[in-house]
Amino acid sequence: MDVTILGSGGCMVIPKPLCDCRICSEARKKGVPYERTGPSAFIHDENILIDTPAEISIQLNRAHIMQVDNLMFTHLDPDHIEGFRVVEQIALDFRTWQAFPGKQIRLILPVPLMDQLRNVQSAYGSLLDYYVAQKFITCVSFKDSIVIGDIRVTAIPVDRGEMLSFIYVFEKAGRKMVYAPCDIRPFPENHEKVARPDLFVVQPGLFEKKLRHGFIYPTDHISRTTLYTFEETLALAERIQADQILFVHLEEYWNRSHSDYAALQNQFENVRFAWDGMQLSV
Ligand SMILES: [Zn+2]
Ligand SMILES: [Zn+2]
């Protein structure tokens, strides 16, 4: 599988607007790979777009992507679906205000996520219903797993109550990528499908040192309920026997630059930190 990390940032882009910290100032000066936009990836084999942050149109243009056939969401937090309207940007034929033939996108989601997405609204009602009515998208819901061309996708729910989130396992020709960028705790590590991935795409979790203002996360901080620490994430990757680890969803508040991550990954044999536009072969 050929994959492009369209956006390597998290819920805060880098540079964060108006922020003059070291990380943001350097990113403003140097651009990519120091600059990071919201979390999104693209699988070229079947033209699968995963998640649409606010910057998705810019990301697709920047990566020279000329066709999107399938769209998936890991969950419905704003940093992953703010750019959902990209389906309209892509498909709209101004002559009919409907979709150009061949530009219609298949939205492929686990059943509960599709149900929840219907509740995401503009002032005029459900976005999903509007995009379907205009034929910008068609909806395909699935349970557990689905085949998209030559790729089998397995959806594994993360048990987070109302805050529904999915980890996706993409398999093709004996190769496997586990994609888990955000809201992954508690990680379903006993699910057979997450075992021994060739590539584990995951967020690094919480860094406890070298944060701005000398901040130290209190033991009862809210982030500790949603995030693993960096060390816990590494241990998790080892337990599922991931061959390669790619860290994404890199937050501005981790106070680390592209150079800092480059130095950190040198301490490991199988760890890399993503950047915007990074291309990988799985
Ligand atoms: Zn900053
Ligand atoms: Zn996120």
| pLDDT tens digits, one per residue of 132-148 | 999 999 999 999 999 99
The closest of 148, 2, 6 to 64, measured between CA atoms, is: 6
DSSP labels, 100-159 = PTTT-EEEEEEHHHHHHHTT-EETTEEHHHHHHHTTSEEEEEESSEEEETTEEEEEEEE-
| pLDDT tens digits, one per residue of 38-53 | 999 999 999 999 999 9
Confidence label for 160 from pLDDT (cuts 50, 70 and 90)? confident
Q: What is the 72 CA–ligand 2 centroid distance (Å)?
A: 14
Structurally, how many domains does the chain consist of? 1
Give CA–CA dist 28/47, Å, rounded.
31
Q: What is the 241 CA–ligand 2 centroid distance (Å)?
A: 24
Range of the domain at 6: 2-281
Q: Is the confidence at residue 226, as pLDDT, over 90?
A: no
Q: What is the 192 CA–ligand 2 centroid distance (Å)?
A: 25
Q: What is the 76 CA–ligand 2 centroid distance (Å)?
A: 9
Question: Given this model, what pLDDT does residue 210 score?
Answer: 95
Q: Is the dihedral of CA 4, 282, 160, 36 positive or negative?
A: negative
Q: What is the mean pLDDT of the chain?
A: 97
Confidence label for 159 from pLDDT (cuts 50, 70 and 90)? confident
- Tokens describing residue 137: 């998208």
Confidence label for 163 from pLDDT (cuts 50, 70 and 90)? confident
pTM: 0.97
Question: Given this model, what pLDDT does residue 179 score?
Answer: 98
Question: Given this model, what pLDDT does residue 93 score?
Answer: 95
The enclosing domain of 41 has a CATH number of: 3.60.15.10
Helix (H) or strand (E) holding 280: strand 278-281
| pLDDT tens digits, one per residue of 241-281 | 999 999 999 999 999 999 999 999 999 999 999 999 999 99
Q: What is the 280 CA–ligand 2 centroid distance (Å)?
A: 21
Question: Given this model, what pLDDT does residue 69 score?
Answer: 98
Q: Looking at residues 92-110, what average pLDDT do you find?
A: 94
Please provide residue 207's backbone torsions phi and psi, each rounded to the nearest 5 degrees.
-90, 130
Q: What is the 11 CA–ligand 2 centroid distance (Å)?
A: 5
Question: Given this model, what pLDDT does residue 184 score?
Answer: 94
- Identify residues whose C-beta is under 5 A from ligand 1, the ion: 16, 19, 21, 24
DSSP state of 240: T
% of the chain with per-residue pLDDT over 70:
100
